[in-house]
Structure 1
Amino acid sequence: MSREVFTAVVNPAAGAGAAAGRITRLARALREGGAAVTVTYSRGLGHATELAAEAAARGHAVLAAGGDGLAGAVAAGLAGTDAELAVIPAGRGNDLARAVPLPDDPAAAAAALRTLPSRAVDVAEADGRVVVGSVYAGIDAAANDFANRRRLPRRPFAYQLAALAVTVTWRPVGYTLTVDGETVRLSGHTVVVANAPWYGGGLRVAPDALLDDGQLDLVTVGALSRRKLVPVLAALRRGAHLGLPGIATRRVRQITIAADRPLPVYADGEPLGRGPVTVRVRPAALRLIGVPEPAASY
């Protein structure tokens, strides 16, 4: 296998401008290896989707250079086509890139991009938006909202700082979940619907999630006291929270999340609204370069 033509869709603001430098080095290495590369810069998520769809129509493999929000936007332009996507981590969270890592060295990454196989993976769809990572409504989304509004440093630790700040005044939410047609009521701190294992800048919220199993992993955190909630947040980084009291998980195909008060809802690190939200799986909707084989080895 050898891919010859690429389009890079770049978020120029990602990583405080680091995305542009990274894609420049990678594009140079690809060209030195004989590939053709077109570099485009997005003006926003909608524009990134348009750029990706145009590249797919030309038969190009597409590189998403930015964070998880950009990856989801690019995936939206490619879902349902035969175009292949590779994720170039250059944002704050880079959680999808953890599931499909590329070498840091530009020459090695270029070689991998030209030769690694692609596989069909699932995406989630949340009220019409394509999501490659996770949708979440609760203390984590509130922390994401806090980090964005306070303009905290665009680094993974910003999520943890924001979570600590939000925890001080947070109170449990009354959720009504419609899970594959079954109504479930929950008092808790968050509901996460995950397509990939990581979210929040390296928190392994759904360690058993697979990109290609035709399902989504639902993870809920019950109404734990603040004293018991803090260790759960710490365990998330290691993916060691699933056995702790108050944590529940199951696999689903569709879920509607409603709450007893307005809550921010986030998807791939980007605001989605204030709920309710319906999330469903779209199996094998996207071709992703570098998915480990077999998928169960994540």
Structure 2
Amino acid sequence: MLPVTADAHLSGPIAVLVNPTAGRGRYRGLLPQLLDGLAAAGRPVRLLPASSPDEAESACHAAVADGVAALVAIGGDGTVHRAMQAVAGTDVPFGPVPAGTGNDFALDTGFPADSLAAVAMIADALRAGRTHPVDLARMTGTDGTERWYGAVLAAGFDAICNERANRMRWPRGPRRYDLAILVELARLRPRRYTLRLDGVPHELDAVLVAVGNCPTYGGGMRICPDADPTDGLLDVVVAGRVNRRTLIRVKPRIYQGTHISHPLVSSYRARTVELTAEGITTYADGERSLDLPVTISAVPGALRLLR
């Protein structure tokens, strides 16, 4: 565990990114209380204007460039992911407030599931000038594009299902993803991957590859159950030549993390992961990200959490 750090001179406003549609809007009524809780830290609270994910990310970058004391993201993993791009690798402290359908990064890094309790923790850390450093994963594409993520990168069947669901216009809501899974299950086939783990190559056929900085994704699925965001390493979980029946049978075990004992599931650990396959668009923290091939590096202490 990395040591707790303290800043005695945090100053300036608290910038807050809010996703009002997170958790299907069920947290919207709590927003005034959440903002009041942050104001209890004794600093002005500044809401960041954003009407799209790209605008949200740009607003966070602008706030950090303006010298805010801290950045807080109220929403799910997607909102946290967007805000994280602005503070990764900087000295600006960050507070994720769980208020979405999936809150994997916040929960895996020690924040309470209750959003009001998370705000109280963040405000107390701000008053005390207290931060906890945690690792992030940095992705680099072939064109040099860089993205950060905190939880898990999906680069197999799960990413393919997300990509199909995002192309569909019907049905709305979770049923669209369920339908995408059914379609892709019918088309399931292993793909050839090349993994280079700290420079050591592995050629394999697989239906699922996940690279985790934290254990969970998808709202509590422990896909990389042994991942630790303070150990300076990435956990890689691979489901090999798995057929439809086996995948359906193994999937419920992911919530407990017991799938890694299946003979067709392998796990690895590395500081740097180079991942190559044809026709895969990755999803990081549930957000559409870079096309393969990518290089992923664990960056120790890249984020300073307010807890």
Q: What TM-score results when the alignment is normalised by the length of structure 1?
A: 0.85
* Cα distance in structure 1, aligned partners of 2:113 and 2:156: 34
Aligned length: 287
Task: Answer with 157-166 or 18-27: which moved more.
Answer: 157-166
Q: Tell me by how many angstroms 1:192 deviates.
A: 0.8
The one of 210, 221, 246 equivalent to 2:264 is 246
Name the CA shift for 1:32/1:136 in 2 (closer, same or farther; >3 Å).
Answer: closer
Name the CA shift for 1:281/1:121 in 2 (closer, same or farther; >3 Å).
Answer: same
Partner of 2:135: 122
Q: Tell me by how many angstroms 1:65 deviates.
A: 1.6
Q: Tell me by how many angstroms 1:71 deviates.
A: 1.2
For 1:104, give the aligned amino acid.
D
Q: Deviations over 1:41-64 (max 9, x none)?
A: 323344333333343342422111
For 2:137, give the aligned amino acid.
A
The one of 210, 214, 226 equivalent to 2:244 is 226
- Where does 1:93-108 land on structure 2 (aligned, <5 Å)? 93-99=102-108, 100-102=110-112, 104=114, 106=116, 108=117
The DSSP-based 3-state class of the residue aligned with 2:57 is: helix
The DSSP-based 3-state class of the residue aligned with 1:140 is: helix
* Cα distance in structure 2, aligned partners of 1:275 and 1:111: 40
Q: Tell me by how many angstroms 1:196 deviates.
A: 0.8
Q: Tell me by how many angstroms 1:181 deviates.
A: 1.1
Superposition RMSD on alpha carbons, in Å? 2.6
* Cα distance in structure 1, aligned partners of 2:81 and 2:24: 19
- Gap regions ≥5 residues in structure 1: 291-298
Partner of 1:29: 37
Q: Is the contact between residue 15 and residue 154 of structure 1 (CA under 8 Å) also seen in structure 2?
A: no
Name the CA shift for 1:102/1:37 in 2 (closer, same or farther; >3 Å).
Answer: farther
Q: Deviations over 1:175-199 (max 9, x none)?
A: 1112211111111111111111111
- Where does 1:1-298 land on structure 2 (aligned, <5 Å)? 5-18=13-26, 20-31=28-39, 34-56=42-64, 57-99=66-108, 100-102=110-112, 104=114, 106=116, 108-116=117-125, 117-127=130-140, 128-150=146-168, 154=173, 162-259=180-277, 261-290=278-307
Identity of aligned residues (%): 35
Q: Tell me by how many angstroms 1:80 deviates.
A: 1.9
Task: Answer with 122-131 or 158-167: which moved more.
Answer: 158-167
Which 4+ stretches in 1 moved above 6 angstroms?
1-4
Name the CA shift for 1:89/1:146 in 2 (closer, same or farther; >3 Å).
Answer: farther
For 1:231, give the aligned amino acid.
R
- Gap regions ≥5 residues in structure 2: 1-5, 141-145
Q: What TM-score results when the alignment is normalised by the length of structure 2?
A: 0.83
* Cα distance in structure 2, aligned partners of 1:273 and 1:18: 31
Partner of 1:296: none
* Cα distance in structure 2, aligned partners of 1:160 and 1:241: 21
* Cα distance in structure 1, aligned partners of 2:88 and 2:27: 23
Partner of 2:143: none
Task: Answer with 7-16 or 238-247: which moved more.
Answer: 7-16
For 1:125, give the aligned amino acid.
R
The DSSP-based 3-state class of the residue aligned with 1:242 is: helix
Q: Is the contact between residue 131 and residue 305 of structure 2 (CA under 8 Å) also seen in structure 1?
A: yes
Name the CA shift for 1:88/1:29 in 2 (closer, same or farther; >3 Å).
Answer: same
* Cα distance in structure 2, aligned partners of 1:136 and 1:30: 33
Q: Tell me by how many angstroms 1:34 deviates.
A: 4.5
Q: Is the contact between residue 159 and residue 200 of structure 1 (CA under 8 Å) also seen in structure 2?
A: no
For 1:93, give the aligned amino acid.
G
Name the CA shift for 1:16/1:33 in 2 (closer, same or farther; >3 Å).
Answer: same
For 1:101, give the aligned amino acid.
F
Name the CA shift for 1:68/1:233 in 2 (closer, same or farther; >3 Å).
Answer: same
Partner of 1:294: none
Q: Is the contact between residue 98 and residue 198 of structure 1 (CA under 8 Å) also seen in structure 2?
A: no
* Cα distance in structure 2, aligned partners of 1:44 and 1:256: 31
The DSSP-based 3-state class of the residue aligned with 1:241 is: helix
Q: Tell me by how many angstroms 1:154 deviates.
A: 4.7
* Cα distance in structure 2, aligned partners of 1:70 and 1:35: 22
Name the CA shift for 1:93/1:64 in 2 (closer, same or farther; >3 Å).
Answer: same
Partner of 1:293: none
